[in-house]
Amino acid sequence: MTQSPSQMPQPEGATPSVDQRRALVEFRLATLIATAGPVQPLRQVDLALRAHQVTFVRLEPGREALPLVDAALGLLPPTAGEVRYDDRSWDAWPPAEQISRRGRCGRVFHGEAWVGNLNLRDNVLLSSRHHTKLPESELAAAAGHWAERFGLREIPYERPSLVSAADRRLCEWVRAFIHKPDLLLLENPTHGVPRRAVPGLLAAISEATTRGTAVLCLTNDTDVWSSRQFPAAQYYAVRDEYLEPAEGPS
């Protein structure tokens, strides 16, 4: 019997074909309405975030805040439909399991999420200290590695309010990548950073997908949207509160 392409054995180390990639997060006709802030509602979202794949969503001027990331993390329950993580509805996971799974995700926030009375270095390491068993020396080495890759001499020891907005954004990148997450959720990650830093982020995303990470990137950056580093990416745009397929780089 002839095997379909999805049934054919893959060479060792090869990236799986699209239909073989595990759906880490699934939005099943989910209606997402945030209860606070100027967040664009989304209705009947039908979307899968898959291992080894980037999903790009184009942000429109004045509509940069979307509820997708909070919903993907189980922080915003849908008012209709379902959001599943690891083939199980978020509300079906026990609270401890929900926390554990969120700990395997990396995020760059639409706004900022720093603990004001901690220095940036402790902020960057906080989640990894809590969710991993890595010794402090390994976490420090990983932070230094990602800081260098993203153009920072080091993670500042100053409090966030004393560090430039651009460097704070780069520190968010470090925090998102430091523990090799299963899921990367990037909300307009290049906003406010020097253009010279963008290729480093794109390279890091590419490496993450090769490892098997699922990536959701919300962006209004044409350099990110038009990058040709992600041939298997899927592209979406928001039209009248609905998420619809869009054309990627031509």
Local confidence pLDDT in tens for the 250 residues of the chain: 334 333 334 444 455 555 568 899 999 999 999 988 889 999 999 999 999 999 999 999 888 899 999 999 999 999 999 999 999 999 999 999 999 999 999 999 998 899 999 999 999 999 888 888 788 889 999 999 999 999 999 999 999 999 999 999 999 999 999 989 999 999 999 999 999 999 999 999 999 999 999 999 999 999 999 999 999 999 999 999 999 999 998 7
Task: Find the domain containing 139 and state its range.
Answer: 22-244
List the CATH number of the domain containing 230.
3.40.50.300
Total structural domains in the chain?
1
Instruction: Confirm whether 4 is domain-assigned.
Output: no
CA 65 to chain centre: 14
Cβ atoms of 39 and 199 within 8 Å: the answer is no
Instruction: Confirm whether 15 is domain-assigned.
Output: no
Q: Angle between the 136-149 and 198-211 helix axes, to the nearest 10 degrees?
A: 130
Instruction: Confirm whether 27 is domain-assigned.
Output: yes
Instruction: Confirm whether 74 is domain-assigned.
Output: yes
